[in-house]
């Protein structure tokens, strides 16, 4: 039977190659991965909401007074799953996808299909202050990658389908197909051509329809614009853009700062305990920090800030609007802290939705300050709540177009398009100049695995050092005589460079054929001189574990060398030649752009 299955599988593939063109097949697959990514997103949401509803109904805990325990429970369950089932370090969803696209030819482990569907609901359902978008995108991308491998899809098409799966997941969660396409283009640095646009569009539509099929017309935000943009409010939207920019910088720095603090804990158990209790305390004082926070955003959009704030120790003072403003500003400050602590303690989730929560709170704060300043100004608080979200998305993710179109689609119209552009553009420009890389991209940039819209940089990122390393060089030792070198190495080599290594296989120098040419035919010198007297230092070294392809290219440019040695684990590993490097670059550029 296994042989029969293999034969049937092979026949199906052959039939496909004969009867369906690659372009048509890509379109069919984009619909399929959009559906599967949408299905993963729906499953993720439902599982999370199921956990939350169990806790809210009192099956596990009956009172908000015990909420501080819940994050510890959730993080413990995640820890046990990772230790005994997943057995690998959890990775940030979006960052791991970009790394797979740039360095793994779009190959993603099959574990990443189901792991986010388990760890994220446990984290969020038990109060972890993170979002579900990142895990949904990660699961959809893993489905797409493994689906593509099963059907023998080439690397370029597999990468496109991963972007399609991401668009399908986002479209399913937010029911915003245009923003989903733009997210794939902005975050994954995808070239928007007709070749990529149609598959992205099909996947996005498929994801939205999947959401409608399983969830009906239920939407995350039940909001319709009641007050259009007025030109007199322009200055306040500019102010909001500046505010969200500074909040974006704070958000990013707080994330990396808290991660660095938790790195001091030697045991993950201490991280879990300390982080879980810290989150619990924050939830007790500020209940809206619980989970994703969509309910908080909807309450603000409805104009009910008391319901949005929930039951807090400060309930007796919320009749004072400035206390309300202070509490909302506290959410702006502590959402970043709670989210970062959740990640640092070992939780799983995404940063996109916490960004929206923080932005909604800040936008509402700005509107309330304007309305209650006593200067006679009046603005629509719901509009500022929405546009605050766009400002934070643009600043934190460096994705202004995604921010603009997402909020426009959420509101069901483009009445706020002008203020959206004002706030998102200002926030992006200030944040982009203050911080070069986002939470998604900083580590990727450090290791040379970041994809950008700069084609030259992207091609270098997609190149693999292993593909250009040559190892057919004859190795010599420093103590070897000239005669031994000529007979055992020079006579048997087709190369004009010889690496000199010691007993530990560490590179101590190189010898060029030109270095010994004038002595090669003087047999009287064969036993009188050794390799050590001819060798010299290489003009530069390439370090296998550290150097990105951009750095390798820069080393060739700075040194003027035609061949540079590669060092791996401190030992000689081979050479990279400039000619082979440039040939590989040209081939990758042709493959990338055609």
pLDDT for the residue 4 = 45
Tens-digit pLDDT profile for the chain (594 aa)? 344 456 777 887 788 788 888 889 889 999 999 999 999 999 999 999 888 888 876 544 445 556 678 889 999 999 999 999 988 888 877 888 888 887 788 889 999 999 999 999 999 999 889 999 999 999 999 999 998 888 888 888 888 999 999 999 999 998 889 999 999 888 887 766 667 889 999 999 999 999 888 876 666 666 677 778 889 999 999 999 999 999 999 999 999 999 999 998 888 889 999 999 999 888 888 888 888 888 899 889 888 888 888 887 788 888 899 999 999 999 999 999 999 999 999 999 999 999 999 999 999 999 999 999 888 899 999 999 999 999 999 999 999 999 999 988 887 767 888 999 999 999 999 999 999 888 888 877 776 655 555 566 666 677 788 888 988 888 889 888 888 888 888 888 888 889 999 988 999 998 888 888 877 777 777 788 888 888 889 999 999 888 888 888 888 888 888 889 999 989 999 999 888 888 887 777 666 555
HSE-up (13 A, CA, CB side) for residue 497:
19
In the block, which residue shows the tokens 């305990």?
Answer: 273
Residues 6 or more apart whose Cβ sits within 8 Å of residue 453:
189, 191
Catalogue all structural domains in the chain, each as residue range(s) with its CATH number: 10-62+84-215 (1.10.3080.10), 231-260+292-335+348-452 (1.10.3080.10), 457-593 (3.10.580.10)
Q: Is beta strand 563-568 parallel, antiparallel or unpaired with respect to 542-543?
A: parallel
190: left (phi over 0), alpha (psi -120 to 50) or beta: beta
Residue with tokens 């766009």: 390
Residue partners of 311: CB distance under 8 A and separation at least 6: 64, 287
Q: With the C-alpha atoms ordered 15, 17, 18, 24, is the resulting torsion angle positive or negative?
A: positive
Residue 62: its pLDDT value, please?
47
The first and second tokens of residue 481, run together, are 């005589």
CA 504 to chain centroid, in Å, comes to: 40
For residue 219, the model assigns a pLDDT of 61
CA distance 268 to 431: 33
Distance CA 589, CA 67 (A): 54
Query: Residue 360: CB partners within 8 Å, gap ≥ 6?
Result: 296, 297, 300, 301, 385, 386, 388, 389
- The residues, ordered by sequence, that sit 6+ positions from 461 with a Cβ below 8 Å of its Cβ are 102, 103, 448, 449, 450, 451, 452, 548, 549, 550
Nearest-CA neighbor of 394 among 364, 438, 361, 350? 438
- The three-state (H, E, C) secondary structure of 114-169, written as one string: HHHHHHHHHHHHCCCCCECHHHHHHHHHHHHHHHHHHCCCCHHHHHHHHHHHHHHH
Question: Are 391 and 423 spatial neighbours (Cβ–Cβ below 8 Å)?
Answer: yes
Other CB atoms within 10 Å distance of the CB of residue 28: 14
> Rounded to whole angstroms, how far apart are CA atoms 507 and 572?
5
- Residue whose token pair is 């057919």: 472
CA 287 to chain centre: 28
CB atoms within 10 A of CB 261: 14
Residue 248: partners with Cβ closer than 8 Å, 6 or more residues away: 391, 392, 394, 395, 396, 427, 431, 435
Is residue 137 within 8 Å of 170, Cβ to Cβ?
A: yes
Cα–Cα distance, 370 to 387 (Å, whole number)? 15
């Amino acid at each position: 039977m296994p042989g029969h299955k293999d034969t049937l599988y092979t026949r199906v593939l052959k039939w496909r190659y004969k009867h369906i063109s690659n372009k048509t097949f890509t379109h069919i697959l984009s619909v399929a991965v959009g559906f599967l990514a949408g299905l993963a997103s729906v499953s993720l949401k439902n599982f999370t909401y199921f956990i939350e509803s169990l806790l809210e109904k009192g099956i596990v805990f009956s009172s908000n007074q015990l909420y501080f325990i819940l994050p510890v429970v959730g993080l413990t369950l995640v820890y046990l799953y990772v230790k005994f089932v997943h057995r690998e370090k959890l990775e940030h969803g979006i960052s791991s996808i970009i790394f797979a696209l740039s360095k793994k030819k779009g190959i993603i482990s099959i574990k990443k299909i189901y792991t986010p569907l388990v760890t994220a609901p446990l984290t969020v359902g038990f109060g972890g202050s993170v979002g579900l978008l990142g895990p949904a995108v990660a699961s959809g991308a893993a489905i797409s990658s493994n689906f593509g491998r099963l059907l023998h899809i080439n690397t370029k098409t597999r990468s496109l389908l991963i972007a399609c799966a991401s668009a399908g997941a986002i479209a399913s969660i937010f029911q915003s197909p245009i923003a989903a396409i733009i997210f794939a283009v902005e975050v994954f640095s995808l070239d928007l051509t007709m070749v990529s646009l149609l598959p992205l569009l099909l996947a996005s539509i498929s994801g939205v329809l999947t959401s409608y099929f399983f969830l009906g017309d239920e939407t995350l935000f039940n909001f319709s614009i009641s007050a259009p943009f007025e030109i007199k409010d322009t200055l306040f939207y500019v102010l909001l853009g500046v505010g969200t920019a500074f909040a974006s910088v704070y958000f990013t720095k707080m994330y990396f700062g808290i991660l660095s603090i938790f790195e001091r804990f030697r045991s993950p158990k201490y991280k879990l305990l300390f982080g879980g209790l810290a989150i619990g305390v924050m939830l007790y004082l500020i209940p809206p920090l619980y989970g994703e926070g969509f309910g908080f955003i909807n309450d603000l959009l409805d104009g009910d800030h008391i319901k949005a704030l929930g039951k807090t120790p400060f309930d007796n003072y919320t009749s004072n609007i400035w206390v309300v403003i202070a509490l909302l500003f506290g959410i702006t400050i502590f959402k970043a802290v709670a989210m970062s602590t959740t990640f640092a303690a070992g939780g799983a989730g995404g940063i996109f939705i916490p960004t929206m929560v923080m932005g909604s709170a800040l936008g509402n704060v700005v509107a309330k300050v304007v309305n209650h300043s006593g200067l006679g100004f009046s603005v629509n608080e719901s509009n500022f709540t929405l546009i605050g979200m766009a400002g934070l998305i643009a600043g934190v993710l460096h994705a202004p177009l995604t921010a603009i179109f997402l909020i426009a689609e959420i509101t069901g119209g483009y009445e706020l398009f002008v203020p959206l552009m004002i706030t998102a553009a200002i926030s992006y420009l200030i944040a982009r100049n203050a911080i070069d890389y986002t939470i998604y991209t900083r580590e990727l940039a450090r290791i040379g695995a970041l994809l950008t819209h700069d084609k030259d940089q992207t091609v270098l990122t997609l190149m693999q050092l292993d593909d250009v390393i040559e190892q057919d060089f004859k190795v010599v030792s420093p103590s070897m005589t000239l005669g031994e070198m000529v007979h055992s190495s020079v006579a048997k080599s087709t190369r004009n460079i010889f690496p000199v290594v010691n007993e530990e296989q560490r590179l101590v120098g190189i010898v060029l054929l030109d270095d010994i040419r004038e002595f090669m035919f003087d047999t009287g010198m064969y036993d009188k001189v050794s390799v050590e007297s001819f060798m010299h230092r290489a003009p530069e070294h390439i370090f296998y574990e550290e150097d990105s392809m951009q750095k390798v290219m820069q080393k060739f440019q700075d040194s003027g060398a035609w061949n540079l040695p590669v060092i791996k684990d401190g030992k000689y590993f081979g050479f990279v030649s400039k000619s082979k490097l440039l040939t590989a670059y040209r081939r990758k550029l042709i493959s990338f752009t055609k």
